[in-house]
Amino acid sequence: MPIVVDIDVMLARRKMSVGELADRVGITPANLAVLKNGRAKAVRFTTLAALCEVLKCQPGDLLRWEAEDAAGGWHAPGRE
């Protein structure tokens, strides 16, 4: 999928566990894991806003787009 979720990066920077983040955001650890692992089909803006509030970050710190390369894989823009 071309959208990459970097919640792990922010969790590490904030020295916070998945369980603590889920509790503070108000979602289940299982739902956070689905989002964190890139398996979510959608994310509500209210959830994204809560994640940003708790992690003290911008949406772009959590989500990024990667283009598809000619071989059918994904790569980050500018890293060809």
Tens of pLDDT, residues 6-43:
999 999 999 999 999 999 999 999 999 999 999 999 99
44: Cα separation from own chain's centroid: 12
Q: Phi-psi category of 25—alpha, beta or left, where left has phi over 0 and alpha has psi -120 to 50? A: alpha
CA-nearest of 2, 1, 54, 57 to 25 is: 54
pTM value is 0.82
Report helix, strand or coil for 52.
Answer: helix
Residue 57 has phi, psi (to 5 degrees) of -145, 180
